[in-house]
Amino acid sequence: MKVLVTGSSGTIGTRLCEKLLERGHLMAGLDWVPNKWQPAVQKLTTIVDLRDATRLKAQSSKLKADLIVHLAANARVYELVENPDRARDNILTTFNMLEFARQNGIKRFIFASSRESYGNTGVDKYTEDLVRVNNCESPYTASKIAGEALSEAYRRCYGIDHVIFRFSNVYGMYDDSIRVVPLFIRLARKNDPLTVFGKDKCLDFTYIDDAVSGIIQGITKFDSVKNDTYNLAYGEGTTIVHLAEEVKRLLKSSSEITVGNSRTGEVVRYIADISKAKKALGYSPKTPFSEGIRKAVEWYLKNS
């Protein structure tokens, strides 16, 4: 099976492509920036702006595939509150990739959605049936709900089967962005303050290898798990204050931890119910937060 991965230069995309190649899969990547981490992935990555349907279509002849994994997205929630046009771009790129699949006879589509789709509802653990439009917290949330809806529409109208994965705070190698884990590591190395937005904010952090193992299970078992939605997370919550404390401890940093108000549009508490993914996919996350954050710090110190 040949797999086409969008966002192949990103955190999840790089690790997924690396693991696909290790397993002997044929693959191709699409991104608008080169892959700076893995030369083998970069060699198979076509640089194209997924918002440009004409240029995307021009690549059809060299991007033949049996399945698309659509990871590419603008993913910083608060940045999309400040710049909502980036949420529009998320919707447009998902539409363009579904059209690419339709025009090229690709009948399998994996869509990377997010825990943000649930909004703030106050439940203890989130099952896959709890997404409601009236809980939509932000333009980013709206873009992910729209992507899920488009995936279902293309199944009904054009027979393109889908699997939807709702990821939760994936962290680890190949990430030197301004997401919270690498940001705190970078700041703590300089002994700069670590700001937590919301003293009780608690999220479900997922180590990169666990997230990628779930995607690979989705690829491998696609025909038996298709046209459904699955949470991919660790299944336990970690407060952002605890994250900051662990980063400080691991780096022996003197950074001060400061607490500010929660920011508009952000989910303040999320822990995933992953029982459905465990049953259907055989998904089994292996990396607790204490181990994953140690690995993330070690990787960052060696590579950034």
Q: What is the pLDDT of residues 213-272, one digit of tens each?
A: 999 999 999 999 999 999 999 999 999 999 999 999 999 999 999 999 988 888 889 999
What is the structure's pLDDT at 264? 86
pLDDT-derived band at 284 (thresholds 50, 70, 90) equals: very high
The mean-pLDDT minimum among 19-33, 71-85, 141-155 falls in: 71-85
Q: Which residues of 151-185 are buried (b: 16+ CB within 10 A; e: fewer)?
A: bbebbeeeebbbbbbbbbbbbbbbbbeeebbbbbb
What is the mean predicted confidence (pLDDT) over 102-128?
94
Asked if 113 and 130 touch (Cβ cutoff 8 Å), the reply is: no
Check pLDDT > 90 for residue 211. yes
Asked if 167 and 233 touch (Cβ cutoff 8 Å), the reply is: yes
Asked if 296 and 172 touch (Cβ cutoff 8 Å), the reply is: yes
Check pLDDT > 90 for residue 176. no
What is the mean predicted confidence (pLDDT) over 137-145?
95
Element (H, E) at 31: strand 26-31
Check pLDDT > 90 for residue 182. yes
Model-level pTM?
0.96
Q: How far apart are CA 265 and CA 284, in angstroms?
A: 30
Asked if 28 and 4 touch (Cβ cutoff 8 Å), the reply is: yes
Q: Looking at this protein, which amino acid is placed at residue 225?
A: V
pLDDT-derived band at 124 (thresholds 50, 70, 90) equals: confident
What is the mean predicted confidence (pLDDT) over 74-102?
95
Output the CA torsion sign for 257, 263, 266, 272: positive
Check pLDDT > 90 for residue 13. yes
Check pLDDT > 90 for residue 77. no
Check pLDDT > 90 for residue 78. no
Q: How many CB atoms sit inside 10 A of residue 254's CB?
A: 9
The region that residue 26 occupies, defined by phi over 0 for left and psi between -120 and 50 for alpha, beta otherwise, is beta
Has domain 2-170+207-234+272-286 been given CATH number 3.40.50.720?
Answer: yes
What is the mean predicted confidence (pLDDT) over 291-302?
97
Asked if 2 and 66 touch (Cβ cutoff 8 Å), the reply is: yes
pLDDT-derived band at 76 (thresholds 50, 70, 90) equals: confident
What is the mean predicted confidence (pLDDT) over 141-157?
98
Residues in the chain, total = 304
Which ranges of the chain does DSSP label H, i.e. alpha helix?
11-22, 39-43, 53-58, 77-82, 85-103, 139-158, 180-189, 208-220, 222-225, 240-251, 275-281, 289-303
Residue with tokens 């003293």: 199
Which class for 252: exposed (0-12), middle (13-18), buried (19 or more C-beta within 10 A)? exposed
Check pLDDT > 90 for residue 90. yes
What is the structure's pLDDT at 24? 95
**Percentage of the chain with pLDDT > 70?**
100
Q: Report the DSSP beta bridge partners of residue 45.
A: 29
User: What ranges do the domains of the chain cover?
Assistant: 2-170+207-234+272-286
What is the structure's pLDDT at 250? 98
SS (H, E, C) 220-266: HCHHHHCCEEEEECCCCCEEHHHHHHHHHHHHCCCCCEEEECCCCCC
The overall average pLDDT reported for the chain is 96
Q: How far apart are CA 50 and CA 66, in angstroms?
A: 19
Asked if 251 and 194 touch (Cβ cutoff 8 Å), the reply is: no
